[in-house]
């Protein structure tokens, strides 16, 4: 998480998946202070999520979540209720995964 010069938290506004010249994956993360409006962008190696304050839906995230479902990972059990996933609940891709693991109804009740 980043803190703005005004003392407030910076909020992640977007993530773009890119590649370095050598082909290594990278993210361009855009953040904004909702207090003073200051905006910043930074390139970081893919997977460096310490600069992200909420989940953003990316191809990589979809792939990893689908892998967890296929592997029957224990954490999948909490997709329908854990607040960590709240920003994704309206996403058609996330809803498809919830339906696949029979948690769509549970998630919809949490959203109300």
40 and 68 co-located in one domain: no
More confident residue, 18 or 69: 69
Nearest to 60 by CA among 108, 30, 1, 18: 18
75 and 100 co-located in one domain: yes
Give the domain range for residue 15. 10-51
Average pLDDT, the chain: 81
- Name the most confidently modeled range: 22-26, 40-44, 95-99: 95-99
Tell me the pTM.
Answer: 0.52
72 and 35 co-located in one domain: no
**Exposure letters 27-46 (e unless 16+ CB within 10 A, then b):** bebebbbeeeeeeeeeeeeb
Give the total number of structural domains in the chain. Answer: 2
Residue 2 belongs to a domain: no
Nearest to 3 by CA among 27, 44, 33, 23: 33
Residue pair 38/6 in contact (Cβ under 8 Å)? The answer is yes
Instruction: Write the pLDDT tens digit of every residue in 75-108.
Output: 888 888 887 778 788 888 889 999 999 999 998 8
Task: State the pLDDT confidence band at 39, using cuts at 50, 70 and 90.
Answer: very high
Residue 10, φ and ψ in degrees, nearest 5 = -90, 140
């Amino acid at each position: 998480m980043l803190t703005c010069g005004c003392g407030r938290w910076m909020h992640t506004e977007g993530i773009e998946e890119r590649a370095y010249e050598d082909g290594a994956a990278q993210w361009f993360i855009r953040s904004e202070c909702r207090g003073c409006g200051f905006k910043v962008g930074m390139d970081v190696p893919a997977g460096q999520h310490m600069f992200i304050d909420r989940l953003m839906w990316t191809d990589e995230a979809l792939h990893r979540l689908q892998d967890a479902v296929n592997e029957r990972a224990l954490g999948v059990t909490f997709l329908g209720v854990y607040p960590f996933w709240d920003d994704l609940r309206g996403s058609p891709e996330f809803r498809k995964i919830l339906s696949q693991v029979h948690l769509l109804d549970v998630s919809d009740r949490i959203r109300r």
